[in-house]
Amino acid sequence: MGSSLLTTLLLLLVGALLARLTATRLARWAVPAIVLELGVGFALGNTVLPFEQIRSLSGLLELGVLTLFFQVGLEVRGGLLGSRPAAVLRTVLLSALTPLLAWWPLQQAFGLSTATTLLFVAVLSATGTGVTLRALGQLGALKTPSGRLLVGVSVLDDLPAIALLTGSMLLAGASQGGSSGLAGSGWLVLLGPVLALLSVPLSSWWLRRHGPWQPGPLGMLLLLIGCSWIGEVTGVTSLLGALWGGVLFNRLAPMGEGSTEARELRGNLALLSEVFLPLYFLGVGMRIQAGTLLQPSAWWLALVLLLLAIGCKLICGLGISGRDQAAGVDRWVVVFGLIPRGLPGLVFASTALASGVITAAQFSALVLMVSGTTVLGLLLLGRRLSNLQAG
């Protein structure tokens, strides 16, 4: 048993390392490691290591995803609105509402259920925050007016998308008579929001009574896992639970942006992400069944979703006014930075597949769309920023 587990872990780690080394060589073509990790996972899953062999490890592999959403929760504060709150809110609103225009065409063209259509809309609404922020940092554009606005939009953009995902899971659970593992029943569905609301006055009471919490890495991990578990068992998804865990951590343990404690916290979270996220992407790739890629319907759906995904984010450019552009915000930097669906799109697709909301062919189509938007968005963003810096 131990030998089999070690062999599985070794194969996964070697696959992740191979993808990262290849990504370094292909960086100039804007091919991110996430796409190569999906490809390596697909090769492993359809040859020597079927996904069924690592299914028991899937919960552990998701730790990197939960860590990333915990980090998003840490960033959810007033500072995200920056000096141009109206532009951020306009763009986020457009990003959340525009995909709803695709509801009827998707449902009619592909005969989708309400839960499945809502899931597709959630993926179209999401933004690959992690890959976008990493690209901005590598190109030295994080502190520019465009970069600051894009950071605020990309982080807040995922909040309505997660809400749509949660709605899709609840609808799926209701249609299956409450049998879905992600959808709580009865009072459990209400318990999650109630606990989140109660945590606000309770955290204020804690601060008045005991002062700021000073947790070590274990305390932080317990809060992350505990909130994720509450989110899962109450039906609001572990992702939303992890995100709220980050928000709650900010309230219980407030710390300055450049403080030693903040740097240590980010270092611990970055370590978890660096170790577990590549393994998660490999797992997603392993879920893709080779046979689904032989179905024309999967490619047709992927193409339609890709066009819708690009079109929805292009419309978001209307949120950048002439006054914003006069202040140094480049509309196309924001638009191109929102196109990648990255990690949220893959997480939503994997969650939906595990819950029976989408079929294997629909999952493959979503992964193809996420990969295409991530590569295209990063390529366009890199070229736009290079042109602006050269000019």
pLDDT, tens digit, for every residue of 57-77?
Answer: 777 778 877 887 787 777 655
Q: What is the pLDDT of residue 390?
A: 76
Which stretch of 6-15, 46-55, 70-79, 381-390 has the lowest confidence by average pLDDT?
A: 70-79
Average pLDDT of the chain, as a whole number: 81
pLDDT band of residue 180 (cuts 50, 70, 90) is very low
Domain count, the chain: 1
Amino acid identity, position 160: P
User: What's the whole-model pTM score?
Assistant: 0.78
CA quadruple 139, 349, 123, 68: dihedral sign:
negative
Give CA–CA dist 98/101, Å, rounded. Answer: 6
- Indicate whether 320 belongs to any domain: yes
Q: Mean of the pLDDT values across residues 8-15? A: 81
- Indicate whether 17 belongs to any domain: yes
Please write down the long-range contacts of 216-225, taking CB distance under 8 Å and 24 or more positions apart: 217/268, 220/249, 220/265, 220/268, 220/269, 223/248, 223/249, 224/66, 224/67, 224/70, 225/66
- Indicate whether 4 belongs to any domain: no
Q: Mean of the pLDDT values across residues 108-126? A: 91
Q: Does the pLDDT value for residue 173 go beyond 80?
A: no
Q: Does the pLDDT value for residue 257 go beyond 60?
A: no
Which tokens is 17 given?
A: 């390392």
- Indicate whether 313 belongs to any domain: yes
- Indicate whether 173 belongs to any domain: yes
pLDDT exceeding 70 applies to what percent of the chain?
A: 86
Selected residue with higher pLDDT from 298 and 167: 298
pLDDT band of residue 51 (cuts 50, 70, 90) is confident
CA quadruple 212, 218, 221, 222: dihedral sign:
negative
- Indicate whether 293 belongs to any domain: yes
Specify the CATH number for the domain of residue 249.
1.20.1530.20
Selected residue with higher pLDDT from 324 and 259: 324
Q: Does the pLDDT value for residue 204 go beyond 70?
A: yes
Q: Does the pLDDT value for residue 240 go beyond 50?
A: yes
Q: What is the pLDDT of residue 367?
A: 92
Which domain range does residue 234 map to?
Answer: 11-390
Q: What is the pLDDT of residue 181?
A: 44
Selected residue with higher pLDDT from 162 and 296: 296
The winner for highest mean pLDDT among 8-22, 103-117, 277-291 is 103-117
Q: What is the pLDDT of residue 1?
A: 41
Q: What is the pLDDT of residue 259?
A: 63
Q: What is the pLDDT of residue 267?
A: 75
Q: In this structure, are residues 139 and 382 in contact, taking their beta carbons and an 8 Å threshold?
A: yes
pLDDT band of residue 305 (cuts 50, 70, 90) is very high
CA torsion angle 172 174 180 184 (round to 10): 120
